């Protein structure tokens, strides 16, 4: 197995990208990295959906990676980093793989091509071309409700044979497809759910972990769900899951990551809840709901 393959399990955090006054908020980014590096997190995804990667300029993305790695180099732990990339132009993505080949990362998370809706033969050829070209291993990202193309299990199993394709972030929105993939996948092909609300269910079905935005909040509880299930303690895992299940609904009441950023701002982990257009900050009604939930959880913890 590759180094990343050994670590592609457990609780991964798709780190939000903090902004302030239109720019990358480096101070908040360092604070976030220090905080979550000390939590029960197994790795970071940078610059993907939750990190608003499609709004980041190339220089900002490079700076983002450099800061996160720098904080972990000087801190207590060195967690693996996957860089999120996406696009519908295979040649352009190959260029991006070249441009990022010497960055301090451990691999890539690459979504299926969006908008153009290629055939499965096209999806297969696209990912094989990227995997052949990449200096670092690839995890695939299947999220058809954003890209308009599902990577079928037949295609996934073909791609899983490639030595440089090591796993999948599964947002396929079909439990039946997910269970069949978990049953048929090669031994070392990792599958992590990316559906926050289905985190417990997916782990119970046999997923290797989750890439969970909601774990920015109550991180230890999300980690405990995974740990208890690994130990076979189903009832204990369910009890811990019930502590956070409602958060996975609340944080997606409006487009993500705006609700999570609001929460992180109100609890002092970032200096601003700012997002970039076309995303907008949460409305007043949801802000009030989030404030009430923050207050309730603080009282429980006291």
| pLDDT score at 2 | 59
What are 135-172's pLDDT values in tens digits?
A: 999 999 999 999 999 999 999 999 999 999 999 999 99
Instruction: Tell whether the model's pLDDT for residue 300 goes beyond 80.
Output: yes
What are 36-51's pLDDT values in tens digits?
A: 999 999 999 999 999 9
What are 48-64's pLDDT values in tens digits?
A: 999 999 999 999 999 99
| pLDDT score at 74 | 73
- Partner residues linked to 12 by β-bridges: 43, 211
| pLDDT score at 276 | 98
What are 217-246's pLDDT values in tens digits?
A: 999 999 999 999 999 999 999 999 999 999
Measure the CA–CA gap between 40 and 224, rounded to whole angstroms. Answer: 9
- Percent of the chain exceeding pLDDT 70 equals 98
What does the chain come to in residues? 302
Instruction: Tell whether the model's pLDDT for residue 302 goes beyond 80.
Output: no
Q: Is 261 noted as a catalytic residue in this protein?
A: no
Measure the CA–CA gap between 266 and 14, rounded to whole angstroms. Answer: 19
Measure the CA–CA gap between 291 and 212, rounded to whole angstroms. Answer: 21
| pLDDT score at 76 | 62
- Partner residues linked to 193 by β-bridges: 170, 210
Residue 137 region by backbone torsions, left for phi larger than 0, else alpha for psi between -120 and 50, else beta: beta
Cα 29 to Cα 18, 163, 189, 209, distances in angstroms: 6, 33, 31, 25
- Tell me the pLDDT of the chain averaged across its residues: 96
Please provide the CATH number assigned to the domain covering 3-242: 3.20.20.70
Say which of 36, 108, 169, 199 is annotated catalytic.
Answer: 169
Say which of 108, 141, 199, 262 is annotated catalytic.
Answer: 141
Q: Is 169 noted as a catalytic residue in this protein?
A: yes
Instruction: Tell whether the model's pLDDT for residue 1 goes beyond 70.
Output: no
90 phi and psi, to 5 degrees? Answer: -60, -45
| pLDDT score at 99 | 98
Q: Which tokens in the block code for residue 66?
A: 């450099």
| pLDDT score at 277 | 98
DSSP strands (E only) in 112-202:
138-142, 165-170, 190-193
> Does residue 13 contact residue 215 with C-beta atoms inside 8 Å?
yes
| pLDDT score at 259 | 98
Pairing of strands 19-20, 23-24: antiparallel
Measure the CA–CA gap between 31 and 65, rounded to whole angstroms. Answer: 14
Measure the CA–CA gap between 86 and 130, rounded to whole angstroms. Answer: 11
- Percent of the chain exceeding pLDDT 90 equals 94
């Amino acid at each position: 197995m590759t180094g990343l393959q050994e670590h592609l399990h457990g609780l991964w955090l798709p780190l939000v990208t903090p902004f302030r006054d239109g720019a990358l908020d480096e101070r908040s980014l360092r604070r976030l990295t220090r905080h979550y590096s000390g939590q029960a997190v197994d790795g970071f995804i940078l610059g993907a959906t939750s990190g608003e990667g499609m709004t980041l300029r190339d220089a900002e993305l490079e700076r983002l990676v450099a800061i996160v790695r720098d904080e972990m180099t000087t801190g207590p732990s060195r967690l693996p980093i996957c860089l999120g990339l996406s696009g519908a132009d295979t040649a352009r993505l190959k260029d991006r793989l070249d441009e990022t080949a010497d960055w301090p990362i451990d691999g890539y998370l690459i979504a299926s091509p969006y908008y153009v809706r290629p055939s499965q033969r096209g999806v297969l050829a696209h990912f094989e071309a990227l995997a052949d070209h990449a200096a670092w291993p690839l995890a695939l990202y299947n999220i058809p409700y954003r890209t308009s193309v599902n990577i079928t299990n037949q295609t996934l199993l073909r791609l899983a044979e490639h030595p440089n394709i090591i796993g999948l972030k599964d947002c396929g929105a079909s439990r039946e497809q997910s269970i069949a993939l978990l049953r048929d996948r090669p031994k070392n092909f990792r599958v992590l759910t990316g559906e926050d609300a289905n985190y417990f269910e997916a782990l119970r079905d046999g997923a290797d972990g989750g890439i969970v935005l909601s774990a920015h909040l109550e991180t230890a509880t999300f980690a405990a769900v995974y740990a208890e299930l690994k130990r076979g303690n189903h009832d204990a895992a369910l009890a811990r899951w019930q502590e956070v299940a409602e958060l996975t609904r609340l944080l997606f009441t409006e487009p993500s990551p705006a609700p999570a950023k609001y929460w992180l701002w109100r609890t002092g982990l970032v200096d601003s809840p700012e997002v970039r257009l076309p995303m907008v900050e949460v409305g007043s009604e949801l802000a009030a709901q989030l404030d009430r939930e923050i207050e309730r959880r603080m009282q429980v913890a006291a």
